[in-house]
Structure 1
Amino acid sequence: MTTILTFIAVFGTLVVIHELGHYYFAKKAGILVREFSVGFGPKIFAHRKGETTYTIRLLPLGGYVRMAGYEEETDIRPGMPVTVKLDDAGHVSVINLYSKKQLADAVPLEVTSFDLERELFIEGRQRSEIDQTVRYPVNRDALVIEQDGTTVQIAPIDRQFQSAPLIQRMLTNFAGPLNNLLLAIVTFILIAFLQGGIISNEPRAGKVEPGSPAEAAGLEEGDLIRTIDGEKMDSWVEMVLTIQEHPEEELTLEVQKPEGATETLTVVPEADTTEDGQTYGLIGVNASMETSIIAKISYGFTQTWNIITQIGSVLLSMVTGGFSVDMFGGPVAIYATTEAVVQTGAAGILNWLAVLSINLGIINLLPVPALDGGKLLLNVIEGIRGKPLSEEKEGIITLIGVGLLFLLMVVVTWNDIQRFFLR
């Protein structure tokens, strides 16, 4: 149960933060955000505030920001029975498509024609007058109760996504991945403060374990290990690897004390064995910690950049060295890994959240149709051409992208099931 709740919390946080980026910049651009949803599928909860309806849906594996005119279609069709509610001026304030909800004093109509973008009207036949059509003007902020019961606002053309300036549409598309990177930065900073500092990569001794070979050799906290057997040590990792390669062998350390004096120490690493039978050496000293506020804040940026470069290397290897489905992981892989991460405590879960957030941000920036990067590519093409692609061409490109992503998700999910549960 803990794993399930952690998985939902981590995945939900990633989705909400990503979609909040799109939401914020859409609102700043004057684009009508009709719905902000966490999850997909049937609606569990809905709350309307301002122009936006906030919903929670049954399947917690994603979410979306529903921007007016952005890959959406109207639910209203000619011949459809609806009811409309009129205000005191005789203008439509609510259009009800939901058969399970009855509006007081509503007028029943069988829709013959409508325009909720430019002319703002709805026309239809009333039940009492089958052969006569009635035309009602529709308010700019009129509501539509959709067929699943969700209440959203109509979207005049000037409030739709495509009516916003190109630069604001680009910012809106880019904002989701940007938010994921910002989430990672903030999370890594939080980890640094929770840990009390950052593990330094300097070959400098931190806490020395009592009774350890390091203590017997005279190594003290704060000592900087300059060389081991005459070989210069440039990092903590290099120092550890060198010691691990020499179990029960005498090593000569050139050590610089915090006050500047240099000493030569002799240490014999004790031997330990891994689960697969490999023997390695250790001397019982921990890495030093950088505890300054600057170091903790800097960690958020440096660690985020380190992971970005790692992901970039993997993506580059796909181009230069060939593609393998094992390079990807879907929700099943995330869940399986979360099960192990839960055992590491709060810091491990936060680290996992940050790593996933960076992955989500970078993958979404790939120039693939249906991803944010694909939409940004179309924006760039529009800027070069001086006009957007036709809705038909853009729809075909997006459909192809969605199909490829769906196929990849199926393959990745099946591969994950085999890797984590069938082997």
Structure 2
Amino acid sequence: MSFLYTAVAFLLALGPLIIFHELGHYWVARACGVKVLRFSVGMGKVVWSRRFGKDGTEWAISALPLGGYVQFLDSRDPETAPKDEAERARDFVRQSVWKRIAIVAAGPTANFLLAIALFGALFMHGVEEPGTKLRPMAADTPAYAAGLRGGDSVTAVNGEPVTGWSDLRWQIMSLAVDKQDARLDVRAANGSQYAATIPAAAIKEPGPEGDLMGELGLDVWIGMPVVENAVAGGAGARAGLQKGDVVLGADGKPFAHAADFVQTVRAAPGRTLQIQVRRGSQVVSLPLTPEKDPKGQGLASVQLSPALERVTVQSGPVEAIVKGARRTWEMTTLTFKMIGKIVTGQASLKNITGPIAIADYAGQTARMGLATFLGFIAVVSVSLGVMNLLPIPVLDGGHLLYYSLEVLTGRPLSERIQGFAQRAGVALLFMLMALAIFNDLSQRL
């Protein structure tokens, strides 16, 4: 059932993005007067099709559910060559180079516009997420060395205001790629303001499974633990803990953080603790005697649901679209920078991921709620736009490279050179896909 859920989430995430990408090509081609012969979702053999419109455009679903394409009237293809002068005027090849550039660029542009719209809608609706309040960090972490302490809240990074955890994480990740210091404006737990700087040398680029924030000592503040379930027969159940109890302290000493409860229990195997819990409007004291686990540590045998401190990030319509456009631009530039680092050997090839990773993240975000899932779709839309702009033959970026050379030289590349480039591009894409799938599998086995 979990596999089916993930598969459906993957199709719901990637399918509309492919359709929207191809619609970009389709709409601009029609606007430029080019005849569209086929609009296909999927590649390879057509398994279903219907014709619509005065041009009899074939709308099709093809066998391989990876990608799609729009087929134009093209005099280079004997099977679809124009039959008369009226059709010749609608031949893709006969269009000006600028029209061809516009048609090819329309696909990635559609993905970027969709990402802006999705991000903008999320900012307008309001996204509930953890705030920027920090949990206590270890003394050997860069965050502690910079002067940050548990209970403090970050308000800006290098002058850019941050209102939620995703903003903070995004800014730190951008600085990791750019190898810049992180200058943080911070509001202390007592209300005072101060600045802290984490040096660039301490901000390492994470791998695909890396935890950049955790390595720096930055983690989300967690409130007092709430009892989700006390395992029958366990120490917590014997003590009388019930679902919904909020653990406040032990032996008269209040906890400053949820981790204090876990540490206190682990340090007291076999010793009775008087724990204070809030139950409804009352505070009660319960005797908890932790059992000893195989490692010799105390065990309460309760499932906890930490209370995250959350904020709602919401903007007006105009501000939301501006923020959506900025987020899309920042993600696009960051992705190109990361690709550049991979090409030059400054970043690991393990950062290249494929459909298995996308499907996994699609399933995870779908379970977190509609807003999180739509945010994930926006991220994938940006990635799809960037990928198609890479100057690899067979991709949109490869065709844009051909037409750019045509603008510079005044004549198109020869069909022989284009044919060779196409074959090389297909081989390169297959190698990249194989590497991506290998990375996906190796990270999950």
User: Could you list the per-position Cα deviations for residues 207-239 of structure 1 after superposition, in whole angstroms to 9, with x for gaps in the alignment?
Assistant: xxxxxx98xxxxxxx9x974457661589x9xx
Asked if 1:43 is matched to 2:29, the reply is no
Name which structure has the greater RCO, CA cutoff 8 Å, separation 6+: 2
Asked if 1:164 is matched to 2:151, the reply is no
Question: CA 1:413 to 1:276, structure 2 compared with 1: closer, same or farther past 3 Å?
Answer: farther
Asked if 1:309 is matched to 2:344, the reply is no
Distance 1:246 1:36 in 2: 50
Aligned amino acid, residue 13 of structure 1? P
Asked if 1:232 is matched to 2:214, the reply is no
Aligned counterpart, 2:436: 412
Asked if 1:343 is matched to 2:337, the reply is no
CA drift at 1:313? 3.0
User: Could you list the per-position Cα deviations for residues 48-76 of structure 1 after superposition, in whole angstroms to 9, with x for gaps in the alignment?
Assistant: 11221111123322111011228x73459
Aligned counterpart, 1:8: 11
Distance 1:274 1:42 in 2: 60
Of all paired residues, the percent bearing the same amino acid is: 30
Aligned amino acid, residue 68 of structure 2? G
Question: CA 1:59 to 1:339, structure 2 compared with 1: closer, same or farther past 3 Å?
Answer: same
Distance 2:395 2:263 in 1: 43
Aligned amino acid, residue 331 of structure 1? P
Q: Does structure 1 conserve the Cα–Cα contact (< 8 Å) formed by 2:49 and 2:60? A: yes
Aligned amino acid, residue 65 of structure 1? V
Q: Does structure 2 conserve the Cα–Cα contact (< 8 Å) formed by 1:367 and 1:376? A: yes
Residue of 188, 195, 219 corresponding to 2:119? 188
Asked if 1:73 is matched to 2:104, the reply is no
1:31 partner SS: coil
Aligned counterpart, 1:377: 401
- Segments of 5+ residues of structure 1 without an aligned counterpart are 77-115, 121-138, 142-155, 204-212, 215-221, 249-266
Q: State which structure, 1 or 2, has the greater radius of gyration over its C-alpha atoms.
A: 1
Aligned counterpart, 2:68: 63
Aligned counterpart, 1:27: 30
Question: CA 1:287 to 1:268, structure 2 compared with 1: closer, same or farther past 3 Å?
Answer: farther
Asked if 1:270 is matched to 2:257, the reply is yes
CA drift at 1:287? 3.6
Question: CA 1:201 to 1:340, structure 2 compared with 1: closer, same or farther past 3 Å?
Answer: closer
User: Could you list the per-position Cα deviations for residues 304-339 of structure 1 after superposition, in whole angstroms to 9, with x for gaps in the alignment?
Assistant: 123223213312322444463312122222112222
1:272 partner SS: helix
Tell me the TM-score normalised to structure 1 length.
Answer: 0.62
Q: Does structure 1 conserve the Cα–Cα contact (< 8 Å) formed by 2:255 and 2:261? A: no
Aligned amino acid, residue 43 of structure 2? F
Q: After the TM superposition, which residues 21-420 of structure 1 pair with which residues of structure 2 at under 5 Å, given as runs?
A: 21-50=24-53, 51=55, 52-69=57-74, 73-75=77-79, 117=82, 120=83, 156-194=87-125, 196=126, 226-227=187-188, 232=194, 269-272=256-259, 285-287=309-311, 289-322=313-346, 324-420=348-444
CA drift at 1:295? 3.5
Distance 1:291 1:30 in 2: 40
Distance 1:335 1:315 in 2: 21
313-322 or 49-58, larger mean C-alpha shift: 313-322
Distance 2:11 2:337 in 1: 29
Q: Does structure 2 conserve the Cα–Cα contact (< 8 Å) formed by 1:370 and 1:401? A: yes
Q: Does structure 1 conserve the Cα–Cα contact (< 8 Å) formed by 2:390 and 2:396? A: yes
Distance 1:276 1:370 in 2: 57
Aligned counterpart, 1:113: none
Distance 1:322 1:391 in 2: 36
Count of residues in correspondence between the two structures: 307
Distance 2:344 2:67 in 1: 32
- Segments of 5+ residues of structure 2 without an aligned counterpart are 134-149, 152-162, 164-184, 198-212, 225-253, 265-305
CA RMSD after TM alignment: 4.1
Distance 1:177 1:17 in 2: 9
Aligned amino acid, residue 5 of structure 1? V
1:162 partner SS: coil
Aligned amino acid, residue 272 of structure 1? A
Tell me the TM-score normalised to structure 2 length.
Answer: 0.59
Question: CA 1:273 to 1:158, structure 2 compared with 1: closer, same or farther past 3 Å?
Answer: farther
Question: CA 1:342 to 1:182, structure 2 compared with 1: closer, same or farther past 3 Å?
Answer: same
Distance 1:9 1:369 in 2: 28
User: Could you list the per-position Cα deviations for residues 332-360 of structure 1 after superposition, in whole angstroms to 9, with x for gaps in the alignment?
Assistant: 22112222222112112111111011011
Q: Does structure 1 conserve the Cα–Cα contact (< 8 Å) formed by 2:44 and 2:64? A: yes
Question: CA 1:31 to 1:243, structure 2 compared with 1: closer, same or farther past 3 Å?
Answer: closer
